[in-house]
Chains A and B, each alone.
Chain A
Amino acid sequence: MDLTLKIVIVDESPVRSAIIEEGLREAGYSHVVRVAETANLLARIYAIDPDVIVIDLENPSRDVLEQMFQVSRVVKRPIAMFVDQSDAASIQASVDAGVSAYIVGGLAKERVRSILDLCISRFNAFSRLQAELEQAKTALSDRKIIDRAKGILMKAKNLSEEEAYSLMRSTAMREKKKIVEIAQSVITAAEMLK
Chain B
Amino acid sequence: MSGARLCIGFIPLVDAGALIVAVDKGFTAAEGLDVELVREVSWSNVRDKLNIGLFDAAHLLAPVAIASSLGLGHVKVPIVAAFGLGLNGNAITVSPALHAAIAAQADGDIGDPMVTARALARVVAGRRMQGEAPLTFGMTFPYSTHNYQLRFWMAAGGVDPDQDIRLVVLPPPYMVESIVKKHVDGFCVGAPWNSVAVDLGVGHILHFVSEILQRAAEKVLAVRARWASENPDVFARLIRAHGKAAAYIGDAANREEVAAILAAPDRIGVAAEVIRRTLDGRLKISPDGTYRASERYLLIGRAGAARPDPVHAAWLYAQMVRWGQALMSAEALAEARATFRPDLYDSILGAAPLPSGEPADRIGAFTGPAFDPNDIGAHLNGWKIRRR
Chain A window 59-79, contacts with chain B (Cβ cutoff 8 Å), 1 for yes, 0 for no: 111111111011110000000
A residues adjacent to B (C-beta < 8 A): 38-40, 42, 57-67, 69-72, 80, 82-83, 85, 88, 91, 95
- B residues 15-61 with Cβ under 8 Å of A? 41-45, 48-49, 51-52, 54
Q: B48 touching A82 by the CB < 8 A rule?
A: yes
Residues in A neighbouring B178, C-beta threshold 8 A? 39
B residues adjacent to A (C-beta < 8 A): 41-45, 48-49, 51-52, 54, 73-75, 140-142, 162, 168-171, 173-174, 177-178, 181, 183, 324-325, 387
Q: A69 touching B41 by the CB < 8 A rule?
A: no
Which has the most chain A C-beta neighbours within 10 Å: B44, B45, B74, B178? B44
Which has the most chain B C-beta neighbours within 10 Å: A58, A63, A66, A88? A63
Say which residue of B45, B142, B174 sits within 8 Å of A67 (CB atoms): B142
Residues in B neighbouring A82, C-beta threshold 8 A? 48
Given A70-B325, A91-B52: A62 touches B387 (CB 8 Å cut-off): no
A40 to B136, CA, bound (A): 11
Q: A83 touching B168 by the CB < 8 A rule?
A: no
Q: B48 touching A63 by the CB < 8 A rule?
A: no
Q: A62 touching B49 by the CB < 8 A rule?
A: no
Say which residue of A64, A69, A95 sits within 8 Å of B49 (CB atoms): A95
Q: A69 touching B73 by the CB < 8 A rule?
A: yes
A-B CB pair tally, cutoff 8 Å: 73
Given A39-B178, A63-B140: A70 touches B73 (CB 8 Å cut-off): yes
Q: A58 touching B41 by the CB < 8 A rule?
A: yes
CB of B385 to closest CB in A, whole Å:
14
A146 to B170, CA, bound (A): 48
Q: B170 touching A66 by the CB < 8 A rule?
A: no
Residue of A nearest to B171 (CB): A60
Q: B141 touching A66 by the CB < 8 A rule?
A: yes
Q: B75 touching A69 by the CB < 8 A rule?
A: no
A5 to B45, CA, bound (A): 26
Residues in B neighbouring A42, C-beta threshold 8 A? 168-169
CB of B279 to closest CB in A, whole Å:
25
Query: Apart from A39-B178, A60-B173, A63-B43, what are 12 other A-B pairs with CB-CB below 8 Å?
Result: A38-B174, A61-B171, A62-B44, A64-B170, A64-B171, A66-B43, A66-B44, A66-B142, A70-B325, A71-B324, A72-B387, A95-B49
